[in-house]
Structure 1
Amino acid sequence: MRTSWRRTLLATTATATASLLVVGALTVISSPASAAPNYLVGWATQNGGTTGGGSSPTTTVTTAAALTSALGSSSASVIRVSGTITCSGMLRVRSNKTILGNAGATIAGCGFTVNGDRNVIIRNLTFRNWGDDAINVEQNATNLWIDHNTFTAGYDGAVDIKRGSDFITVSWNRVHNHDKTMLLGHSDSNAGQDQGKLRVTYHHNYFDGSNQRNPRVRFGNPVHVFNNFYRSNGGYGVASTMGGGVLVEGNYFENVRDPYHLGEGSSGPGTLVARNNHFVNSGAGQAGGSVAGIPYGYPLDPAANVKSIVTNGAGAGKISV
């Protein structure tokens, strides 16, 4: 049940989007994102950029033991995952890794954790039936690109980012048959570690009936949510809480009663600026306040085209790696 302060805010700010301001400069790249889905944009381009293993040697893994060893190596590397790997728990990913799925590559029963490490790329994998999180990012981990993966039927978060992590792009992923999707900031009491961090870009993701946390934001400002397709999300799309600042831009909402709002559960409100979104049989959303400026250029597709672009391009198996 939502608290009374949120009901008051809903009544006073549901139509306030047109009067909101985004503070700071904004550059939009003219070429459409749909033409270059392999192109890294967003927060992961900052702080020195995100290159993963770069041109380091490539290792192909087909077993849980080999995957665990490769992910945990202290050396920079490119790891190719082949077939279905069945595992349990959370496998730690160390710095300077690119993890690429070959066609049909699946991680079943376990997840990856990036704990205090940096410069990691995770692409083209299907995660299913994980017992904790599919991808967990924490303890000041920085510079990650999580791209073109599919997440389904797991226990907790598909991609949870918390505890001071920063400079991350989450793009072109599909989440379906799953409840708690993408948490940004794990606790209302963690402001000391999280304020000034948790800067994440979510773009061209397909939230395909995923119920909630698409994403749920604490503290991060600005968090950039653009050109995503939301379909039949039963709980809500985006929530901005605990002083977070979220720009919700150019998204397509279809059959989503609550596209975005301020505050969630016992967490107080953040700010949220909404502009140029497209709604089909959906609510109007709740916005309020201002959001810090976006420091990077980015390609922005027209919101009305996003459904087609994202359904054709998001998820594992939609790129050649």
Structure 2
Amino acid sequence: MAKSAGQKLKPLVLRQTLLERSDEDHPLTVAQLIAALEPWGIQAERKSIYGDMEALRTFGMDIQSRKGKSPGWFVGERSFQLPELKLLVDAVQSCKFITKRKSDELIRKLEGLTSVWQARQLQRQVYVDRRVKTMNESVYYSIDKLHNALAARRAVTFRYFEYNVRKEKVFRRDGRRYTVFPHGLIWDSENYYLVGWDGTKKEVRHYRVDKMAELAVTCLRLEPGEDQDLAAFDMAAYAAKHFGMFRGREGRVRLRCQNRMVGVVLDRFGQEVMLVPDGEDHFTVTVDAVVSPQFFGWLFGLGDAVELTAPAWAVEAFQDQLRQVAGQYRPPEDGAAG
């Protein structure tokens, strides 16, 4: 009976061995495959290994064989190739909303999708640089809860906080819970944001997921009429209007840009925006935007290549912002220590 049970496991053990220990640069010989079966108490002959390899091919595995200087068997095409895994590892490592501990766990799981030899290249990828990570360990599970709430079309409640200079959580609204009907999640500037209908403010707002505490999915649903308003809400347009997801006054702004800024404008606002020639060296573009300090920062970074020309209230606000910042950097008066 023991031999029969072992023989039933034989193809599974061979499959796992090939997935874990073989790749194009590290084929496994028949002798190595037979040796891998021994800890399981499985005896095998060379001829039977050839039959097993053919059975695994029939099952759908891309089993390749090589003759010559480095003969053996290896897995060719996998669900994820090494360059794809490198991209995924880099994305996980870059995400601020995933803590370092959770990043390490996910990366170890990604390493399990390739051979032990190629996994070493992924390990080297991890330590490319030091990146800022969130301090909120629960964010990984909060995202899952929010997706469940979205699927069930139910409200969530949570407490929302900021950090003070001592890195302590300070809760907004005196710690009272927020009630939000989720509409979607946005990944912007390496942070996840929940966008939804705020039951208290009676408007669509967004919140950083890593700043939520005690998140819970409720049985509450939107009132008749409100659900239709939310269904018609354009998530893509909402995200495009916000710079760094900062809140501010929304308006239709006009920018006059030097021609060399075409790529910058298209990267930020998309290929659909209309560029209107304005003389030989400039063009204008009109877009919906939330005018916030972050918007002014983006504008200032482009220097004299982009000019905000309308609406008037936005131009005045930008001028006020420039004056306030310039006031902090006035040169010392004559006779003052420099």
Shared fold by TM > 0.5?
Answer: no
Q: Which has the higher contact order (CA 8 A, sep 6+)?
A: 1
TM value normalised by structure 2:
0.22
The structure that is strand-richer by fraction is 1
